[in-house]
Structure 1
Amino acid sequence: MAQMVEISDVVDPRVDDFRDLSRADRRPDRPGGRGLVIAEGVVVVERLLASPYPVRALFGVRRRVEELAEATAGLDVPAYVADADVMARVVGFHLNRGVLAVADRTSVIDPVELIGRSRRLAVLEGIGDHENLGALFRNAAALGVDGVLLGAGCSDPLYRRSVRVSMGHVLRVPFAHLDSWPADLKLLRDEGFRVAALTPRGDSKRLREAELDEGKVAVLLGSEGPGLTDEAIEAADVAVRIPMAEGVDSLNVATAGAITFHALSGTW
């Protein structure tokens, strides 16, 4: 397994990658940001180890690091071990899951490449909440979506909270950025995709009537609260809604995504 290294000094520079994550866990283009991929807990760390992201080190209490012995077999990186108090003082908060791993980011996927090898895609606009973003990736992985395209206003899917909420599935579901929004939706049509915009508007088609299980389909999902912009809906091929009980006007975006992703599979 990875070589265990005891850490007893809170200021030991060998664990700087894990230091003060409440402030330092940021995108590389933001103040203080190092832009590392950070996994929390045994299950998510295992998924990071199995992902394309190059792992730099692990850090945890001995019991949790030992649980990863099989997953770290042959891994030539340090596994720093400390007691829970030292770990909390390094990280900046008490970590119930007991183990972290950090990795470098990989090169960004070209959206044309991702679109070209996919049949089912989620396209997101304005998903700024890291937990919603992580939940959407988890749902995409569970329900057979091939990838995620990030449009305007989306948060970083590799932020620690998104990785955690996704249960590490953001590390295996490929994603790409659409830089020209919503003009880049044309890239989908060029590859034969039908773009379905999810909206509660009364003039939209009911989900069961939209035939989303046929052909190549991209589901367009918007932010919590305001939803999709008018420009995004107008750029789609069809507007689709999930019928709801009277008095309820919307669903959490991750929940709405899960229902729609399931409809794409044609198994409902």
Structure 2
Amino acid sequence: MRVVVEQVDSLDDPRLADYAHQTDVALKKSRGSEHGLYLAESLLVMQRALAAGHRPRSVLALGGSVDDAVAALEAKPGGADVDGPGDVVVPVFSGPGDLLEQLTGYVLHRGLIASMHRPALPTVEALLADARRVVIIENVADPTNVGAIFRSVAAIGADAVLVTDRCSDPFYRRAIRVSMGTVLQVPWGRVGAWPATKELLAASGFHVAALALRDDSVTLRAFAARAPERVALVLGAEGDGLTLEALGAADTIVRIPMAHGIDSLNVAATAAVAMYALAD
């Protein structure tokens, strides 16, 4: 991989298409990329993406961030020292701050944005093979909550995250930003219908614990006191909570007792509390 700094002076430059107010959906369908693209904002997030083995397509940077971007790219294993006919060039675009603000829609200051190739997702079987704790996010539509859950998973401790088809994409820009790039570190994959998902979990020895306020539930403290070796925590959508299919697939319904008439926590807060209770 060779890193080349290139100056840009026009918003019409076709090389900047990845950054020109593209939606997350459009980036996911981008041509020239097997699995689509995502945007990594800030040096820290780009470094986490590179450390996870994700391939950069280009970087948009300002001021001192140009040098930071080049250094980070060249520090990638097999970075700028690779040469030859199969060499891949990664451009680092730089230009006037006001121009780049118009392009991206906000002030970059001394920051950067990297256009990254989405990796192929691992299979559910591979994710479960050596895991003890997994988090399943069912139909959570808000990317802010998805990102916050991933950040808690990375910080407090779970081995993998599984998301349903109707869940917001963890590679969406806001989810990556809120997670501080941890969605690029935590292994995750997608699951389908509950009968097949339950079968996979059972075959791997997982006890399914669904978080919900129900009369037949047990408290989180009681469940944690005698938690099985392998647990899959299931978290539901904002407002609607878990579906009947998810509740039906659960081995145990677990609740977090509430005070002052409060009937629920934010789903990201629930994830953090539950994971902490089950931490070794």
TM-score by length of 1: 0.90
1:203 shift after superposition: 2.8
Q: What SS does the aligned partner of 2:157 have?
A: coil
Judging changes above 3 Å, is the alpha-carbon distance between structure 1 residues 210 and 170 closer, same or farther for their aligned structure 2 residues?
Answer: same
Aligned ranges 1:1-268 → 2 under 5 Å: 2-22=3-23, 25-28=26-29, 35-73=36-74, 74-75=79-80, 76-95=89-108, 98-211=111-224, 213-266=227-280
Give the AA of the match of 2:8. Answer: I
TM-score normalized with structure 2 length: 0.86
Q: Which amino acid aligns with 2:15?
A: R
- Count residues with an aligned counterpart: 262
Cα separation, 2, equivalents of 1:125 and 1:97: 37
Measure the CA separation in 2 of the matches of 1:65 and 1:153: 38
Q: C-alpha distance in 1, partners of 2:138/2:132?
A: 20
Contact 1:42/1:97, CA 8 A, preserved across alignment: no
Offset, 1:16? 1.5
Report the secondary structure of 1:72's partner residue. Answer: helix
Q: How much is the aligned-residue C-alpha RMSD, in angstroms?
A: 2.1
- Deviation of residue 256 (structure 1)? 0.3
1:12-69 per-residue CA deviation (whole Å, 9 max, x = no partner) reads 112212112357755329xxxx931211112112212222221111102122232344
Q: Once the two structures are aligned, what percentage of the paired residues are identical? A: 39
* Distance change in 2, residues 1:56/1:226 (3 Å): same
* Alpha-carbon distance in structure 1 between the residues aligned to 2:24 and 2:219: 44
> Against the structure 1 CA distance between its residues 87 and 21, is the aligned structure 2 distance closer, same or farther, given a 3 Å change threshold?
same
Contact 1:213–1:263 under 8 Å retained in 2: no
**C-alpha distance in structure 2 between counterparts of 1:40 and 1:72, whole Å:** 15
2:86 matched residue in structure 1? none
The CA deviation string for residues 122-141 of structure 1, in whole angstroms up to 9 with x for no partner, is 01111111111111111111
In 2, Cα distance between the equivalents of 1:96 and 1:214? 49
User: Structure 2 stretches of 5 or more lacking a match?
Assistant: 81-88
Farther-moved stretch of structure 1 (67-76 vs 12-21): 67-76
**Retained in 2: the 8 A contact 1:26–1:159?**
no
Amino acid at match of 2:262: V
Which runs of no fewer than 5 residues in structure 1 stay unpaired?
none
Deviates more, 1:257-266 or 1:218-227: 257-266
TM-superposition CA deviations, 1:94-126 (whole Å, max 9, x none): 345721001111222111111112111001111
| Structure 1: distance between partners of 2:124 and 2:38 | 21
Per the alignment, do residues 23 and 134 of structure 1 end up closer, same or farther by CA in structure 2, a change over 3 Å counting? closer
